[in-house]
Amino acid sequence: MPSNPRIVILGGGFAGLESAFLLRMRLHGKVDLTIVSDREDFTFKPNTIYIPFGADPSAFLIPLRKPLDRRHIDFVSGSVTEVDPVAKRVSVSDGTVLPYDKLVIATGSDMRPDEIPGLREHAETIWTSDAMLSLGRRLEDLRTRARGGERQRVLFLVPPNNKCAGPLYEMVFMIETHLRREGLRDMVHLEWSTFEGSYIQAFGPRLDEVVRAEFAERGVEGHTSEVVTEVAAGTVRYADGSSREFDHLIAFPPYVAAEVYPGLPADDRGFLTCDPATRQVQGHADVYAPGDAGDFPVKQAFLALLQADAVAEHIAAGATAREFTAGFDPVSMCVMEMFDKATFAQVPLRVTGDPAHPVEVRPGAEDDYKVGVSPAWRIGKKVLGFYLPMRFGAGEPFHAGTAWSLMDVGLKGMAGVLAD
């Protein structure tokens, strides 16, 4: 690469910001960094699950300009209109044209509810802050009706092509706990329906066991291997001809790439085809796609951060002529909120190549596959919810420095005591 290479990063989410901040940390002033985003704020999406229960959406926003200015990272506000990988330039909606030496595409994923006829019209979804506010209004209606003596049926739905339904699992547990605390649980029937062959299928049998036990304890009626084909008013219909009735439907729609890039290789849902270790787009050594924009089958914030770290380390190694040794190692880590307790999971993953089961727990890595359920894990959830916004707000990467070392030690210590 030339001295002071020009690196353009598309997207101001988890993968985009982590890439930018870690590159600045590794290369200091020896790199020119530019972020392009159509949003002036970063949304900490993992904590938007609290919005339906009264949390203020603005509490989960981090204005981008201050931390970017602090790290001398240029910010271009707008959407991308063209990526030309031959001329190595990006065109933006405001007319800006940005030449690059390295391009990081981190524009993430989006939801496509219209893939299931009727889903948009008849379901509450949980993707955006606005959707969470709408769900909060629906829950208020549910409580009002239940207090008035009207029994209610709530159906949670995971359709095919959802790449990680973890937040919806959090929602069913949080709503169940909330209704119990309000004294309304007996008035509401909670039911779960997913296309997956097991619960949280991507994260293996231990998470399935946890969900089955929690559903049994909480009186949630659960169903797997149900492929929805259509939603009508009050009814979900499935591929086998069966149907389920509801008064309130809460769904996590199918995923697609948020942006499509003609001329770059992608799968049928628009996710860019990448080298597993470096996240370089196939056939384009100067283009990377960490996080949800790429083809890794599980879409999750922690995995997006790990991919961004690999991208930054690969670019930094090339800029400093040193060996690259820090490839993307897909070990997911998550804390699933339930309001009365939480579930921690550390899951080493492997891509299988089987569309029906695209990832599995990595064979031979059972010692690193840890799952635990405890009220204490709610503390871990809150600490993570404080730590990452603090880091990004200061223009610092998630997985670096003394702060992360302390966080990592704390999480591993908790896992050693509270997870098997």
- pLDDT band at residue 271 using 50, 70 and 90 as cut-offs: very high
Cα–Cα distance, 190 to 243 (Å, whole number): 16
pLDDT band for position 270 (cuts 50, 70, 90): very high
Q: Tell me, what DSSP letter sits at residue 234? A: T
- The pLDDT of residue 38: 95
Q: Residues 358-379: what's their mean pLDDT?
A: 93
* Residue 56 pLDDT greater than 80, yes or no: yes
Confidence of residue 367 (pLDDT cuts 50, 70, 90): confident
Average pLDDT for residues 263-277, to the nearest whole number? 97
Token pair recorded at residue 356 = 């029906």
Q: Is the pLDDT of residue 237 over 80?
A: yes
Long-range contacts (CB closer than 8 Å, 24 or more residues apart) made by 58-67: 60/129, 60/389, 62/389, 62/392, 62/393, 64/12, 64/17, 64/35, 64/37, 64/39, 64/40, 65/40, 66/393, 67/21, 67/392, 67/393, 67/394, 67/395
Instruction: Say if residue 413's pLDDT is above 90.
Output: no
**Residue whose C-alpha is closest to residue 54's, from 167, 135, 128:** 135
**Whether the Cβ atoms of residue 20 and residue 9 lie closer than 8 Å to each other:** yes
Q: What's the pLDDT tens digit per position in 130-179? A: 999 999 999 999 999 999 999 999 999 999 999 889 999 999 999 999 99
Q: Supply the pLDDT for residue 406.
A: 78
What residue ranges define each of the domains in the chain, with the CATH number in brackets? 6-108+258-418 (3.50.50.100), 113-254 (3.50.50.60)
The confidence score (pLDDT) of residue 12 equals 97
Tell me the percentage of the chain whose pLDDT exceeds 70.
Answer: 100
pLDDT surpasses 80 at 401: no
Q: What's the mean pLDDT in 120-136?
A: 96
pLDDT given for residue 116 in this prediction: 98
Q: How high does pLDDT run on average in the chain? A: 95
Q: What is the structure's pLDDT at 414?
A: 80
Residues 6 or more apart whose CB falls under 8 angstroms from that of 231 comprise 116, 117, 118, 119, 121, 122, 123, 157, 237, 249
pLDDT of the residue at 3: 76
In this prediction, residue 412 has a pLDDT band, given cuts at 50, 70 and 90, of: confident
Structure tokens at 333: 């880590």
Q: What is the pLDDT of residue 84?
A: 97
For the stretch 310-324, pLDDT in tens is: 999 999 999 998 999
Give the pLDDT score at 174: 98
What is the structure's pLDDT at 404? 78
Indicate the SS3 state at residue 387. helix
| pLDDT-derived band at 234, boundaries 50, 70, 90 | very high
Tell which residue, 179, 178, 215, has the closest CA to residue 194: 215
Mean pLDDT value of segment 332-341 = 96
Instruction: Give the pLDDT band (50/70/90) at residue 416.
Output: confident
Q: Is the dihedral of CA 311, 312, 313, 317 positive or negative?
A: positive
Identity of the amino acid at 17: L
Q: What is the pLDDT of residues 2-14, one digit of tens each?
A: 778 999 999 999 9
Contact indicator for 50, 63 with CB cutoff of 8 Å: no
